[in-house]
């Protein structure tokens, strides 16, 4: 029974995901349904938390929009999430970056990780 569940989970997982890490500044393209039409809306921000594994993996992305912090939790393997695009690698020394919630402006930025930077 366990093998059947594992096989079904493998079938639903995405294969073309980038190597997401805590602190990365990403652009998440999400499918949004409006009436009978569907379009792609992007959400840019910093990954502050990751939890779960396999098909249940989720990523929490935070951005500041018009002075207000906005956080969204995205299931990585959801069909509603079209793609992840890494814009900048951030240097993080901890697993959860919840301390960024209390910071404003330049203090809320992370240093860029030049060792694993993207070309």
The pLDDT of residue 118: 65
Q: How far apart are CA 88 and CA 109, in angstroms?
A: 12
Domains in the chain: ranges and CATH: 2-101 (2.30.30.790)
Residues 6+ apart with CB under 8 A from 72: 28, 43, 45, 60, 61
**Residue 119 pLDDT:** 57
Q: For the chain, what is the mean pLDDT?
A: 91
Look up the pTM and report it: 0.87
* Secondary structure E strands in the chain: 25-34, 37-51, 58-65, 68-75, 81-88
* 76, pLDDT greater than 90: yes
> What pLDDT is attached to residue 100?
92
| Eight-class DSSP state of 6 | H
At 2-40, the pLDDT tens digits run 889 888 888 888 888 899 999 999 999 999 999 999 999
Whether residue 118 contacts residue 86, with contact meaning beta carbons closer than 8 Å, is answered with: yes
Burial class for 63, CB neighbours closer than 10 Å (0-12, 13-18, 19+): middle
Q: Between these two residues, 115 and 71, which has the higher pLDDT value?
A: 71
């Amino acid at each position: 029974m366990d093998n059947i569940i594992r096989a079904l989970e493998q079938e639903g997982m995405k294969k073309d995901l980038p190597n997401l890490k805590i602190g990365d500044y990403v652009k998440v393209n999400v499918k949004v349904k409006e009436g009978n039409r569907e379009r792609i809306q992007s959400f840019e921000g910093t990954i502050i938390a990751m939890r779960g594994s396999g098909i249940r993996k989720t990523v929490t992305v935070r951005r500041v929009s018009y002075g207000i912090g906005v956080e969204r939790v995205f299931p990585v393997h959801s069909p509603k999430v079209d793609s992840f695009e890494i814009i900048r690698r951030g240097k993080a020394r901890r697993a959860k970056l919840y301390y960024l919630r209390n910071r404003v402006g330049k203090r809320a930025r992370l240093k860029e990780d030049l060792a694993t930077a993207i070309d």
